[in-house]
Amino acid sequence: MINERIPFLKNKVRGLPLLPGVYIMKDSKGEIIYIGKAKKLKNRVSSYFRNVEKHTPKVYKMVSHVNDFEYIVTDSEFEALVLECSLIKLHMPKYNILLKDDKGYHYIKVSDEPYPRITSEKQKSGSGTYFGPYVSSFVAKQTVDEIVKAFGLPVCSRRFPQDIRKERPCLYYHIKQCIAPCRGTISQQEYSEIISQAVMCIKDGSRSSIQYLERMMNDAAENLEFEKAAALRDRIAALKKVTESQKVILQGEKDLDAVGFAQRGNALCAVVLKFRKSRLTDKEDFVFDETEDVDEAKSDFLLRFYDQGREIPPQIVLPQFTCDLSLIQKYLTEKRGKKTVLQTASRGEMQKIVTMACENAAQKLSEENKMSVREVSGLQELSNALGMAKPPEYVELYDISNFGETTVVAGMVVFENGQPLKSAYKKFTIRDVVGQNDYGSMQEVLSRRIRRYDEEKESGKGFGKKPDLIFLDGGEGHVRAIKAVVAGTSFADVPIYGLVKNNRHRTRAISSEGGEIALNPTCEGFRMMTRMQDEVHRFAISFSRKQHTKKSLGSALTQIPEIGQTRAKALLKHFGSMRAIKDATEEQLAQAPGITQKAAQEVYRYYHS
């Protein structure tokens, strides 16, 4: 740490009171670079100047620029929160979470061509009719998706009328999601009529469009234009289906925001889904690359998000929160002038929309980190179920496999960021434990693993890398046995859990010293846990079978005079298979390491006499 002021700052911290308040960090120019609140000023501020090297890069950089700090004592934690928000808004410090609104405007475009297309665009470009601007890209894209599906408009790259009847209709036509002008059965006038109806739907909304189309259908039926009436009937049904099947419509008339979070390492993504009159009208997402305290970052996000002029709804639903929401609720209620309720969703409709928000956050984070949504969501759900501060990036799993009492082995597999890291897989042959003793074998393996880590930790690779989480293939007994071995070692702070199976040998739950932790079998966390357990079982049993086969072959060779276990292993290693040993000449056999001329003669005679 290149900051000569650290001793001065540490000394100044000693004079801080154990009272609520706000602290203000300044650089050498006297500019405010960070503002924070604290329940106990002395404890919070001192944490910045202790173990500086362990901070995240962002906090480390901030501390390296701190030249001095000031503080303001308040009467309560709530007053500190209000003052913090006010000062951040006034000074906009560079190291605070600042949510920049850089979304720009978006448009819906109806292209100017014989068979127009309806698309969402970031800006006006090229000829055509534009609707908007829309502040939210989400609203523009959602509207276009609804219109295209309801009216069966083409989304392929074909151009009409140039490509009419040149190729067969694509899959969208066969699944009844496209009217397929490529077939040549729809005239340009009929297509233009459909586009006009779609444009009216954009202007007036789906409800007004349905009423208009119903009047047109009734008129067509009265005029005995039954084909036209049937086509309009199908269009009305499609429009209703698209509207009603949206997961983004709530029961009743509700105005609320659903907030979701996803985390990978120190990166945190927040997504806010805005429901107005029970319909999803907007989505905003934000990614923070370096978060040292996740709960604090989530609280700060909620304050900053609604402290920048955004509409505060009467209800905000959130995933499970470990910090106190009452202060934030009180602050937002006072800011709105009416009561705003913050609640954590645990069941029903609210849980579904919060899950949707979290899935969107996972999607955004996967785009940023090149991980799949499945992996981000799975790790986040495992982390939540186990009460971990952040999702585990490096997970090790262990399984014992045996064929009788003579072949007992173990497999260690590694999952990094939710994916198998096969280069880090390890195999163990049980040396000290005699017979089938799962607990003893697992203890031996973990003891050897910890010893190798202590020897190689400087490398930070292979055995020298410490896992964030360990899973054992086994139940509560396995966990207790291993925790007894791990206690007092360099792995004492690594969370250890077991994976238990049902009577059909399928993953059932996570086991701990306190019992079992059940996960919903349909959630990504459970699926990831199952994939992990299946992989470690596959790896361990494959190694066990291979070792058993080697021992069986070795036993056959030891029946030959002059051939013991050592020479049997040497022959198998040299020739690679029993077939090659049988087909070898006496001279070739003698070339194997440790094989004398007499031993070679005995082997050759055994297979050829």
pLDDT band for position 205 (cuts 50, 70, 90): low
What proportion of the chain, given as a percentage, has pLDDT over 90?
A: 27
- The CA distances from residue 45 to 32, 74, 300, 458, 563, in Å, are 15, 15, 17, 32, 73
551 SS3 class: helix
Sign, CA torsion 318/322/328/330:
positive
Residue of higher predicted confidence among 346 and 129: 129
φ and ψ at residue 113, rounded to 5 degrees: -155, 165
Average pLDDT over residues 77-84: 86
Which of 13-27, 432-446, 475-489 has the least mean pLDDT?
Answer: 432-446
Residue 208: predicted pLDDT: 63
Q: Residue 461 contacts by C-beta under 8 Å, 6 or more apart in sequence? A: none
Residue 371: predicted pLDDT: 67
pLDDT over threshold 80, residue 105: no
Residue of higher predicted confidence among 504 and 512: 512
pLDDT tens across 242-296, in order? 555 444 556 777 889 999 998 877 788 899 988 887 777 778 888 887 777 778 8
Residue 437: predicted pLDDT: 86
3-state per-residue secondary structure call for 25-50: EECCCCCEEEEEEECCHHHHHHHHCC
The two three-digit tokens of residue 14, written as one number: 């000693």
Q: How far is CA 257 from the centre of its chain?
A: 22
φ and ψ at residue 599, rounded to 5 degrees: -65, -40
Q: Are the C-beta atoms of 496 and 470 separated by less than 8 Å?
A: yes
pLDDT over threshold 60, residue 494: yes
Element (H, E) at 394: strand 394-403
pLDDT over threshold 80, residue 132: no
Residue 55: predicted pLDDT: 83
Q: What share of the chain is helix, strand, coil (3-state, %, to 5)?
A: 45, 20, 35
**Cα–Cα–Cα angle for 47, 48, 50, rounded to 5 degrees:** 65
pLDDT over threshold 80, residue 234: no
* Residue ranges of E strands in 170-294: 256-264, 267-276, 279-288
* Residue ranges of E strands in 39-121: 68-73, 106-111, 118-121
pLDDT over threshold 90, residue 341: yes
Residue 294: predicted pLDDT: 79
Residue 332: predicted pLDDT: 92
Residue 247: predicted pLDDT: 45
Average pLDDT over residues 558-569: 81
pLDDT band for position 461 (cuts 50, 70, 90): confident
Give the β-pairing of 256-264 and 315-318: parallel
User: Measuring CA to CA, which residue among 28, 23, 10 is closest to residue 65?
Assistant: 28
pLDDT over threshold 90, residue 377: no
Sign, CA torsion 519/246/99/24:
negative
pLDDT over threshold 90, residue 397: yes
Residue 98: predicted pLDDT: 67
How does the average pLDDT of the chain come out, rounded? Answer: 84
Residue 95: predicted pLDDT: 87
Paired residues of 131 in beta bridges: 108
Question: What are the b/e assignments for 22-53, b being 16+ CB within 10 Å?
Answer: bbbbbbeeeebbbbbbbeebbebbbebbeeee
464 SS3 class: helix
pLDDT over threshold 60, residue 597: yes
Question: What are the b/e assignments for 139-172, b being 16+ CB within 10 Å?
Answer: bbbbbbebbbbbbbbbebebebeeebeeeebbeb
- The CA distances from residue 517 to 40, 393, 399, 460, 511, in Å, are 35, 20, 20, 32, 6
Which of 12-16, 97-101, 395-399 has the least mean pLDDT?
Answer: 97-101
* Other beta carbons within 10 Å of 129: 15
Query: Can you list the domains of the chain with their CATH numbers?
Result: 6-91 (3.40.1440.10), 106-244 (no CATH), 256-369 (3.30.420), 394-542 (3.30.420.340), 558-608 (1.10.150.20)
Which of 46-50, 404-408, 513-517 has the least mean pLDDT?
Answer: 404-408
275 SS3 class: strand
The two three-digit tokens of residue 140, written as one number: 């523009």
Residue 582: predicted pLDDT: 84
70 secondary structure, DSSP code: E
DSSP per residue, 477-529: HHHHHHHHHHTTSTTTTS-EEEEEE-TTS-EEEEEETTEEE---TTSHHHHHH
What proportion of the chain, given as a percentage, has pLDDT over 70?
A: 91
Residue 245: predicted pLDDT: 46
pLDDT tens across 462-473, in order? 899 999 999 999
* Other beta carbons within 10 Å of 597: 11
Q: State how far the Cα of 13 lies from the Cα of 35, in Å rounded to an integer.
A: 16
Paired residues of 199 in beta bridges: none
Highest mean pLDDT among 38-42, 151-155, 223-227, 252-256: 38-42
Residue 404: predicted pLDDT: 62
Q: Are the C-beta atoms of 259 and 318 separated by less than 8 Å?
A: yes
Element (H, E) at 470: strand 469-473
Residue 249: predicted pLDDT: 59
pLDDT over threshold 80, residue 18: yes
Q: Are the C-beta atoms of 115 and 164 separated by less than 8 Å?
A: no
Q: State how far the Cα of 236 lies from the Cα of 212, in Å rounded to an integer.
A: 10
